[in-house]
Structures are given as C-alpha cells and as structure tokens.
Amino acid sequence: MERLKPKLFSVMKIYTKEQFVKDIVAGIIVAVIALPLSIALALASGVTPEKGLYTAIVAGFVISFFGGSRVQIAGPTAAFVTIVAGIVARNGMEGLAVATIMAGILLILMGLLKFGRLLKFIPYTITTGFTLGIAVTISIGEIKDFLGLTIKSKPVETLEKLTVCFKNISTINSQAVIIGAISLLILIIWPKINSKIPGSLIAIIISAAIVKVFKIDVNTIGSLYTISSKAPTFHVPAMNLTMIRTLLPDAFTIAILAGIESLLSCVVADGMIGSKHRSNMELVAQGAGNIFSSLFGGIPATGAIARTAANVKNGGRTPIAGIVHSISLLLILVVLMPYASLIPMPTIAAILFMVAYHMSGWREFVDLIKISPKSDILVLVVTFSLTVIFDLVVAIEAGIVMAAILFMKRMADVSEVHRWKDIDDDVADDDMAGDKENIRWKKVPKRTLVYEINGPMFFGAADKFMNISLDNNVKVVILRMRNVPAMDINALHALNNVRRACKKKHITLIFSHVQEQPLHMMQKAGFHKKIGENNFCDCTDTALERADRLQKLSGSQTA
C-alpha cells in the first residue's frame, strides 16, 4: 500500500553534503529557466507578470516540500493558460483564486481517497486532443503581440481573437515582427549552441537590449503593465455560494489537469532517475500548493515536465532542489523584477510560440489519426475542436462522456450469451482443442441446456440474457460464468428475470464458475438464496452431474 508520506522526509535520512551542493546548483539553474517562462505564462493567462513568479515561488515550495516525487519542479504551465484567461475575463482575480482553492481541495481529496492510479484512466485520445487544442489556442492568442497589432477590444474566445487579428492586420508593426523573428530565431538556434543556459533568457536579454539601444517602437511589459517587485502577501478571496457553484466546473478542470500533468511529469522523472513516486502524496501536495498559491496571489500550478527534466539533468535528486528553485525566484523577484519592464512583448509571444510547439504533441495527434479506429478519432477530433472553439471545460466534459459511451459500447459488443451447441465448429477446433472444459469433452444430460456467458455483464449488455431460450421440454439450464469478471445491478436484474421465467416453467437454474465479484453481488442481494446454495457449482462437471441427478430424481418421482 502506497504511503502518504512526503519524499522529502524519506530522502533526508540518507542526505549528504555532496548531494546538497548538487541540489543547490540544479535549483538555481531551474530558477533561471523558470523566470522567463513564469512571466510569459502569466501574461498569456491574462494576469500581471509577477503572478507567474508568485506561483512558482509559493506552489513550487509547497509541492517540493510535501510532494511524492524526489525531483518534481512545479509552477505555472501552458496547460492552464486558456482556462485561467477565461476565468479572469469572466470573474476577475477573485474568481480565479476561488476556483484554484476549490481545485486544491479536490486534489487533496483525490489523494486522500487514493485516486492517484485512477487518473491514468483518462483516455490518451482526450489528453492528446486537448493538449494540441491548448497549443493552438496559445499560439492564436500571441499573434497580436508578435505582429504588434493595434486592437482595442479584448476578446476572450479563441476564434474571436483570430477574427479580430485578421480585421486589424493593417495595423501590423514591422519593427515588432523583426524583434519577434529575432527572438524566435534565438530560441530555435541557441539550444544547439548551449543547452545549459535557457534560450528564452538569451532571447529576452538580446531583444530587450536591441529595443533599448535602438529605441525601437514596440510594446514592452513595462508599457502595458504595472510591475511589482514585492514579495507575495497573504490574501483570502471573498467568496459566496453563487460564485462557488459557478466556478465548480472550472475548479474540476483545473484539478484534473493538475493531477494528470503532475503525475505524468512524475512518471517521466522516475524513468530518468530510476525512482518511484508516490502518486497519492503528490496529489495532496498539488492540492496544497494550489491553495497556497491562490492565497498568496498566484495562479494554478502543477508539475512542469521541462523544468523537472532540467532539474534532473543538472544533478537535482531530492526535493531540496525544488525548494532552492523557489527561494532563488523569490530573490530574483525582489532584486531584478523592475528590469522585466524592458522585455518586449514580441519576445514574450515568441517564447510562448515555442512553448506551444513543444507541448502540442502534433506528431502523436497525426499518428493517432492514422492508426486509431473511427470512434477514437472522433473523440480525439471533437476534444481538440471543442478546446479551440469553446474552452477546456466543455472539451474535457464532452470528451470523457464520449469516451465512456464508446467504451461501454465496446464492452457490450464483446459480451455475449450463447448455447454451447451454437459455438462455431472452426473456432471450437482451433481455439478450444486444448480446453478440457470444452463442450466437446462433456456429456450433457438430456433436457439440459448449457449457456456460456462471456465478458463483463452490465447495463449495456444486460439485454443479451434475453437470448436464453426456455423450451417447454427443458428441465435444467446451466449458466456458465467463468468468463464474467464483473457484473452490475442491471445484469443481476436481468438474471432475476431469467430466474422467474425458469420458475414459472419449473426449470432448475444452475450456475457454474461464478467469479468473486458477481458472486459477492448475488450474495449481497440474496439472489443466491433464491437460486439455492446447491445450484452454485464450482466447475462445469459438478453442474452437469447435478443436472443429471435432478433429471433422474424427477424421472423416478414421475414413475
């Protein structure tokens, strides 16, 4: 059983001075990487630049301290950009804080209820679809700043943003395009030159210097936002029942996204360091991190795969590196934040273009289109389209509902009830030749029917019990359930209808090979008593012998 114990408490038992030095170096390097990303993601989310740093500082510290991973680095990520921007536009920062707190509570409950393993059941088609949708949405949102367009309105919906950009394309600023292109070129080329220093930092320094020295007419962070270098302060948002009810779907989406991305990041990190994370403890830490982030003026946070990988590559092996990363960002915020006003907006747009490209997973999307069945392609395309056209909440809700319906249909398709004599001869010869339980090796008494039930029996397949034929000359019906791993109340209700029909026609119903879950449900409902304990047999041979005895007993009584 997985323990709800932070990894920090475990690794400190064997902590060394050598590892402490490595963690400090890794933490500082990751802080340098996180600085431009946190600012860029905050601006893309519709909040002021320091909010991104508040998130990386507060949530990063809490999640590293309480987390279930040795090397997880948490902070703002691109996955939250679209939903955060929508919440801020509709409900302001107070609404975002409330939604983030609720999401944190949901994450803590998920961890305490041991839901860590359940998040892996979110279909890959859904995560791939909305991830590409988020990437497209981020890219569309940055067209304005990259081209230096003059747009008075501030549309929230993605397609509205695209439409407004096209309508105002005549206001394009060629100087902004040049700065954006230079930044984009640096971001593409620099990693091939030096992998230690982040390209985003180099792009910011060079582009800011060019704009300052040559007095280029482009928007900067300082010309659009009031920048604060104050440390984050505690603030409890005002909330009421109406706001909670309105923001609950958004909170649910934030919690699901945070859970999926953080656990995915943990899995990637495990592969890099040969460790094993504690998924439920990680969910609790993510919940606590998001709650504290919102209380200190931040936005939603989760595990960041790129920053976590950078931490590992630079020697970080314990949560101390994540804590150092947070402290380093706090010092940068207080000392260097005023210089952030010099960062050109086209550079921010270029950084986010690269973030969107790397997170998009477009190759996986194309591969899924090529190899997936039509039903999975439908879920993939619908989730992607709804993310772009509407928002992430609608996309995830629709995607999960569609995937669940399609899954139930598939399970219903593989579930079947058939008489042994109806088995195809070729199938019997090829697949059942070595099966000692095959009907070909059994002697079935006269006036006895044996039915094989295969697959999970639930409401989607319960009607298949109607295939059981009850002729007047039949005296015993054996239901063989060795291939039924589970059943629900609807299937039990259908079985009860079969029992009633058998009782009316004086037919004895016998069960064979009933597995643990179906048997437990039958016992709990009292169904096994209605059938009779003696009519539950552990194997087919016992069931056939009982049918034979009942036939002989019936014959002797008639005689």
The answer to whether the beta carbons of residues 299 and 47 sit under 8 Å apart is yes
Exposed, middle or buried: residue 284 (CB in 10 Å: 0-12, 13-18, 19+)?
Answer: buried
**Token pair 């298949």 in the structure block, residue:** 464
Closest to 304 (Cα-Cα) out of 94, 546, 52: 52
- Distance in angstroms (rounded) separating the CA atoms of residues 530 and 512: 16
Return the CATH number of 415-558, one of 3.40.50.150, 3.30.750.24, 3.40.50.300, 2.30.30.830: 3.30.750.24
- Distance in angstroms (rounded) separating the CA atoms of residues 399 and 379: 6
What pTM value is reported for the model?
Answer: 0.81
The answer to whether the beta carbons of residues 44 and 82 sit under 8 Å apart is no
Closest to 522 (Cα-Cα) out of 492, 543, 546: 492
DSSP at 68 = S
**How confident is the prediction along the chain (559 residues), in pLDDT tens digits per residue?**
567 899 999 999 889 999 999 999 999 999 999 999 999 999 999 999 999 999 999 999 999 999 999 999 999 999 999 999 999 999 999 999 999 999 999 999 999 999 887 776 788 899 999 999 999 999 999 999 999 999 988 887 899 999 999 999 999 999 999 999 999 999 999 999 988 889 999 999 999 999 999 999 999 999 999 888 999 999 999 999 999 999 999 999 999 999 999 998 998 899 889 989 999 999 999 999 999 999 999 999 999 988 999 999 999 999 999 999 999 999 999 998 999 999 999 999 999 999 999 999 999 999 999 999 999 999 999 999 999 998 888 898 899 999 988 888 888 888 888 887 644 444 445 444 555 555 556 778 888 889 988 999 888 777 777 677 777 788 899 999 999 999 999 889 989 998 998 999 889 999 999 999 999 999 999 998 999 999 999 988 899 999 989 888 766 554 4
DSSP 511-536: EES--HHHHHHHHHHTHHHHH-GGGE
- Residue 302's beta-bridge partner residues? 75
The answer to whether the beta carbons of residues 203 and 324 sit under 8 Å apart is no
CB hemisphere CA count around 254 (13 angstroms): 36
The total of other beta-carbon atoms located within 10 Å of residue 370's CB is 7
Q: Where exactly does CATH 3.30.750.24 map onto the chain?
A: 415-558
- Distance in angstroms (rounded) separating the CA atoms of residues 97 and 42: 14
The answer to whether the beta carbons of residues 528 and 522 sit under 8 Å apart is yes
Q: Spell out the alpha helix ranges (H) of 296-424.
A: 305-313, 319-336, 345-360, 362-371, 374-389, 392-414
- Distance in angstroms (rounded) separating the CA atoms of residues 284 and 197: 33
DSSP 51-98: HHHHHHHHHHHHHHHH-SSSS--EE--GGGHHHHHHHHHHHHHHHHHH
Length of the chain: 559
Taking CA atoms, 47 is separated from 34, 101, 173, 290, in Å, by 17, 17, 24, 16
The answer to whether the beta carbons of residues 107 and 301 sit under 8 Å apart is no
Residue 319 CA, chain-centre distance (Å), reads 24
Angle at 83 between CA 79 and CA 88, to 5 degrees: 130
